[in-house]
A and B are shown apart, each in its own frame.
Chain A
């Protein structure tokens, strides 16, 4: 307070800056505290997964020992990290990774091709298709899931990888995001390439896609998070270990009388790692590209 008063009575550079500096420090400390509080549950998770005893985990939760592990052990991870049998979380993780990578890759390709043609193609009816795509965005996954289950079980697709991948590759939202991104690129890019006799696919692949890293990153992260966290769909269409994703497997811990928190925590940490990697790999482009597209969507 005195600093501020001083700066008003004597218009000198230095006190103003120090007052602002103090305010700035307070602000930074506040943000840091908020950030730590927000992240603390995840920190608890990692610490708890390194504790050996599930009763100890619950006992520690009530005190500051929750944030500390005196003799860390990887036993829980060894216990759940099998590839067959009852706790085959290695297998579930592999299943999820397979589903994730195929869905993200094919999603980026399919949706970006469609978005590109809608933005720069010369096919008739582009405007119609675009408005249909935008209208389809309103339909929530939850409201088509019942007939879809009947459809895929009639087609004999239950309990496969394909049933968890194919229905979610094309997405109105991502087609629209790509469309919007391509449409804002300069027309000269297209015209120059056409002068040189490049085909439309060639222009898409060699000119527009390399310029679209922000859109690719955004769609990859969004598709990735969505696919990784799918829960309702896989519980309806998987029955055996064969294609069961890790989210469904972790949820089965809750069905038991006494929950094995130690194993659940270790499996959860396993589940966090790949999606965190994907996010870290793409986050640099993620936020900036959201600026134009998200709000108007």
Chain B
């Protein structure tokens, strides 16, 4: 490319044309780099998303039937809102959210604070604390299924030992009073690792100068925690709380495997209700209506998060 950079007009024009051509080539390349993602997102996210609103207003069955597909407006939604089981499911996931927020976020925050100290084997410990998060929920169910054994599982033995036999063995997964709480325990154990990582990132984001300044002003460890760490983590707290709440409303796998919504519908969840309606009762339209409701719930939570974050940013 050692060509003479000439000032002859014709040559300059040729160069401009070449640049135009290469610009078009570049646009073409960019478009083809974007295309796979755009096509896949459209086909497998946008189209089914729009379809879910349409299907929710029809009597679409799972397998095609001779009866014609009818557009029935909001009948599915009305039926859902008239179904006690749906409200039970909604109440159950709310209960689940209410319990798992302190347990899971507390565990995540505590372990992140511990790991943020200068301690030996920090990387090893961080790996250990993250292990449950990479464990599949199915495997978690296998492990905790044995831990929850009634009446002689480890948890019951420990409780009996600690209370000197005073606490009677608990049927963790079989007692309607306890089943959802048991699901909370194993879910928190499985999922806190991600929130811990997010908290660790948040802690690393607080500048050391703030702590030094607080120290010079004579703040003790608790004051530094309360007036430097906590305000610095405010967006992190919002993020973690919102993610955990959304996760709670999508609760499905552990319930489907361990309790199938029972006993006495005490662990029925919105997603479990949706899957049952769609695949056991084969009412796809009805199930789609449930999925639209689920989306609206998640959307509301996400919008609340945005508002909160905006307020903190100011």
Contact between A147 and B55, CB atoms less than 8 A apart: yes
Interface string of A22-36 (1 = CB under 8 A from B): 001001101110110
Contact between B37 and A114, CB atoms less than 8 A apart: yes
Contact between B30 and A295, CB atoms less than 8 A apart: no
Q: How far is the CB of B260 from chain A (nearest CB, A)?
A: 9
User: Which residues 5-48 in B have Cβ within 8 Å of A in the complex?
Assistant: 25-27, 29-31, 33-34, 36-38, 40-41, 43-48
User: Which residues 205-235 in A have Cβ within 8 Å of B in the complex?
Assistant: 225, 228-229, 231-232
Kindly report which residue of chain A lies nearest to residue B270, judged by CB atoms. A142
Chain A residues within an 8 Å CB radius of B26 = 122, 199-200
- Is B236 interfacial (CB-CB < 8 Å)? yes
- How many A-B Cβ pairs are below 8 Å? 270
- Is A44 interfacial (CB-CB < 8 Å)? yes
Q: Assuming A295-B205, A297-B239, is B132 touching A143 (CB within 8 A)?
A: no
Size of the A side of the interface (Cβ < 8 Å), in residues, is 92
Q: Among B77-85, B94-102, B223-231, B288-296, which stretch is in contact with chain A?
A: B288-296
Q: Which residue of B129, B135, B152 has the most chain A CB atoms within 10 A of its CB atom?
A: B135
Contact between B154 and A143, CB atoms less than 8 A apart: no
Q: Is the interface of B mostly helix, strand, loop or mixed?
A: helix
User: Which residues 107-166 in A have Cβ within 8 Å of B in the complex?
Assistant: 110-111, 113-114, 116-118, 121-123, 129, 133, 136, 138-140, 142-151, 166
Contact between A261 and B131, CB atoms less than 8 A apart: no
Q: How far is the CB of A292 from chain B (nearest CB, A)?
A: 8
Kindly report which residue of chain B lies nearest to residue A109, judged by CB atoms. B36
Q: Which residue of A24, A122, A123, A283 has the most chain B CB atoms within 10 A of its CB atom?
A: A123
User: Which residues 226-278 in B have Cβ within 8 Å of A in the complex?
Assistant: 235-236, 239, 246, 250, 252-253, 256-258, 271, 274-275, 278
* Complex alpha-carbon distance, A279 and B33, angstroms: 28
User: Which residues 290-307 in B have Cβ within 8 Å of A in the complex?
Assistant: 291-292, 294-295, 298-299, 302
Contact between A28 and B119, CB atoms less than 8 A apart: yes
- Is B120 interfacial (CB-CB < 8 Å)? yes
Q: How far is the CB of A158 from chain B (nearest CB, A)?
A: 11
Q: How far is the CB of B256 from chain A (nearest CB, A)?
A: 8
Contact between A38 and B154, CB atoms less than 8 A apart: no
Kindly report which residue of chain B lies nearest to residue A59, judged by CB atoms. B152
* Complex alpha-carbon distance, A291 and B203, angstroms: 9
* Complex alpha-carbon distance, A145 and B295, angstroms: 12
Contact between B157 and A170, CB atoms less than 8 A apart: no
Contact between A139 and B295, CB atoms less than 8 A apart: yes
Contact between B154 and A123, CB atoms less than 8 A apart: no
Contact between A150 and B36, CB atoms less than 8 A apart: no
Contact between B189 and A38, CB atoms less than 8 A apart: yes
Contact of B257 among A31, A111, A229, A254 (CB under 8 A): A254
Contact between B134 and A264, CB atoms less than 8 A apart: no
Kindly report which residue of chain A lies nearest to residue B254, judged by CB atoms. A231
Contact of B136 among A114, A123, A275, A283 (CB under 8 A): A275
* Complex alpha-carbon distance, A167 and B200, angstroms: 32
Top 6 A-B residue pairs of the complex, sorted by shortest distance between their CB atoms: A114-B37, A170-B40, A147-B51, A167-B44, A143-B295, A144-B48
